Each structure stands twice: as structure tokens, then as C-alpha cells.
Amino acid sequence: MKRVGVIGGGQLAWMMGGAAQKLGVELIVQTPSNQDPAVAIAQDTILAAVDDADATKMLAAKSDVITFENEFVDLEALSQLANQGVCFRPRLEALAPLLDKYHQRRYLSDLGLPVPQFFAIEPQEDLAAKIADLDFPIVLKSRRHGYDGQGTFIIRDLATLQEKLELSSNNPTLFLVEEFIPFERELAIIAARSVDGEVVIYPVVETQQEQQVCRRVIAPAEITPEQVATAEAIAYKLLNSLQVVGVFGIELFLTADGKVLVNEIAPRTHNSGHFSLDACETSQFEQHLRAVCGLPLGNPTLQYATAVMVNLLGYETSQSDYQNKRQQLAAIPQARVHWYGKTESRPGRKLGHVTVLLENQNQTLASEIAQTIEYIWYSS
């Protein structure tokens, strides 16, 4: 039986539980709280911060291979373990260019992949001169540790940019600036690469965000075959260049003139792939475990014409498990409710998701279903 150590114990690790059972894999989780979702499905848990390298050394002693549920890790400390023979998948060299968003942009640009214009912001720099080539609004991003919209700001003028940077001057946050893309749609693609270099790709999906947080995913996206081919080519090129083993999520912009640009890379399973739990023969979570365990990759094909995934986000601070609302959601035809078992709700926190499967490709119906789910969930 393969033992997989997982750094991080949130819902992404929790959703590996069913696949681990199916594949005969034991999961050992390193996570800071025994209230974290994956503790419930893990064979063993090391209670420690995800960037605690001493704890990861203990995790390595119990595991055949170590993978990642999130990217808030200390690569320098982990590299010492890798030098001692600890097997990380994806390998640390594949994560190194991606964890800092400026380095990630540089890497993608050097690969020749299409990205928005970007600049690093250095202290004491002449901002007006630096961003002279960009029109407002612009996007300001924290280079590390931003997720679910945290650390991303839409900036409307130079004075607001200067003010934001001054407010951050007391902490060591590094920023980059990007051109604002007035996209027609946001897209995403999940791809996996095996130990042998085989790459499989899930359908391109449309992601609908509010305040930089994913609210809905519709699979497949209603785009042209050429745009699908472009997104798939980006995924192949990126995963093969990095020699990844495991699943990556790639967020994309579709511009008004039909171009596909890379927004961000998540070097792990991703919210935009949750539909695969119910809609695909092999979910992204099973695919990730297959890849890191050296097993053959599974079939990523969509088994239904359309899948609609809606995130259930916290909208209040409470201890409720929302049993009544979950029952109403489960009563929607072809709905699958996934509840992450978190004990505390707070605004914006991902508490669960609902996927509805459709036999026909109908974007209008998909949108109506998403609205119904959100009406049930957010109505008081």
C-alpha cells in the first residue's frame, strides 16, 4: 500500500479521501489544526504549520512520497529534505518558478506563453515612470501567499497605487503590477502529468468570479475549437517544461478579440476542477494520486453534456452546519452536495460546493441552475 504525505489539510486534501480509498492509498496529512477537513479522512495527522520543515521531516518518515495541497511552503527548507532522498511530487524544481507571482510571470513569458504586461514594484521607485506604458485601471498583486482574491487589488489611479504601497510599507510584502485585461470570460483548464511524461487534460471550463473569488464553474466552456486547442497547448507546454508530476490548475483570460492569455498557475488540484468529482470518469483528485503514486493516468473525459459547479461561500460568522439549506440543495435534480465539514462559517470561506449534471449542453439552463443554488444558499 502506497503512503502519500500531504502538506496541507484543507478541502483539497479532504477530497482526495474517496480516491485514496479506491486506489488503496494511505494519506498522512500535515496541517495546523485538528479541525481541518482532511484530518477526518487521513490515516495519520501531523499537527504543524505547512511551512514547518521539521514536521515535514516527520511526515517523510511515514510516507513513500509527499505532495502538496497548497503552496505556502518553505522551498529552501524542503530542498534539504529532497537532498536527503525525500520524494516530492511535484518536484521542488517545478514549484520554484511558480510560488512568487512575479517569478511565475517571468517563467511563463520566457516560455513564450501569452501573459498580460507586468512589472515588479521595487521600493523607492519612480512609479509614474515605471507604469507609463499601462493605462488605468491596473492590477496590483502580492507576489506571495495570495489566494481567493486576497492580495489582488484593482487600482484606478496613481494616487491610489501610491497610497496602497505606503500602507504596505510596514510589512515586507512584495508586489507586482499587471495590465488590467477587460476579458470577455475567465477560463480554466486542469491538466495532469505522470511519472512517465504522459499528459491528460480536462475540458476547458468557464469560471465566474465575484471580488476575485470563484463563485461558479460551467463545464465545458462555450468557446471555439481553436480556443480549446490554444488552452490545451498552453497546458502541454507548461507541464512538460516543468516536468511536473501531478495535477495543475491553469487560470486563463479570454479577451474580447478571442485571444487566450494565462492569468495564474496553481501547482495543485484546483477549485475549477471540482466538477470532475461527479462529472468525469477520473476526478482531478484521483488523477493527482495516480500521478504521484506512479500509476497510469485515468480518463479525464466529461461523462455528461454539461456540469455546473457552485461554491458555497460563507456569508456570516456562525457555527451552523446549514443542514436545512443543504437538504434543499440536494433536492435539485442531478445535484451532488459536497460539504467540507468545517466547524466555523465566516464571510468568503469555502464551506462546500454543489455540482449539477445535465444531459444537454445548455448554457442558459446552467446559468438558471446556478442562480437557483445561490438563491437557496444566500437567502436568509
Q: Is 202 domain-assigned? A: yes
Check the CA dihedral 216-222-224-226 and report its sign.
positive
Q: Is 294 domain-assigned? A: yes
Which residue range is the domain that position 312 belongs to?
185-378
Tell me the pLDDT of the chain (380 aa) as tens digits: 799 999 999 999 999 999 999 999 999 999 999 999 999 999 999 999 999 999 999 999 999 999 999 988 999 999 999 999 999 999 999 999 999 999 999 999 999 999 999 999 887 778 888 888 889 999 999 898 766 667 889 999 999 988 888 777 666 678 899 999 999 999 999 999 999 999 999 999 999 998 888 999 999 999 999 999 999 999 999 999 999 999 999 999 999 999 999 999 999 999 999 999 999 999 999 999 999 999 999 999 999 999 999 999 999 999 999 999 999 999 999 999 999 999 899 999 999 999 999 999 888 999 999 999 999 999 97
How far apart are the C-alpha atoms of 253 and 148, rounded to whole Å?
A: 16
How far apart are the C-alpha atoms of 30 and 48, rounded to whole Å?
A: 6
Which three cell numbers mark 81? 529534505
Residues 275 and 370 in one domain: yes
- What's residue 73's pLDDT? 92
Residues 354 and 305 in one domain: yes
Domain end point (choices 141, 160, 179): 179
Residues 281 and 344 in one domain: yes
Residues 199 and 258 in one domain: yes
CATH code (residue 39): 3.40.50.20
- What's residue 8's pLDDT? 97
Residues 121 and 71 in one domain: no
CATH code (residue 136): 3.30.1490.20
Q: Are 339 and 326 in contact (CB under 8 A)?
A: yes
Q: Is 95 domain-assigned? A: no
- What's residue 30's pLDDT? 98
CATH code (residue 286): 3.30.470.20
How far apart are the C-alpha atoms of 271 and 50, rounded to whole Å?
A: 20
Among 239, 61, 63, 73, smallest CA distance to 145 is for: 73
Domains contained in the chain, number: 3
Residues 140 and 204 in one domain: no
How many residues in total does the chain contain?
A: 380
Residues 6+ apart with CB under 8 A from 205: 187, 188, 189, 217, 218, 219, 220, 221, 272, 273, 275
Residues 217 and 356 in one domain: yes
Q: Is 107 domain-assigned? A: no
- What's residue 173's pLDDT? 72
Residues 81 and 18 in one domain: yes
How far apart are the C-alpha atoms of 200 and 335, rounded to whole Å?
A: 27
Q: Is 285 domain-assigned? A: yes
Residues 138 and 62 in one domain: no
Residues 347 and 200 in one domain: yes
Q: Are 307 and 275 in contact (CB under 8 A)?
A: yes
Q: Is 109 domain-assigned? A: no
Q: Is 94 domain-assigned? A: no
Domain end point (choices 143, 161, 179): 179
- What's residue 365's pLDDT? 93
Residues 252 and 328 in one domain: yes
Residues 170 and 218 in one domain: no
Could you tell me how many helices (H) and strands (E) the chain has, helices first?
A: 13, 17
- What's residue 121's pLDDT? 86
How far apart are the C-alpha atoms of 349 and 372, rounded to whole Å?
A: 20
Q: Is 106 domain-assigned? A: no
- What's residue 145's pLDDT? 74
Domain end point (choices 179, 207, 229): 179
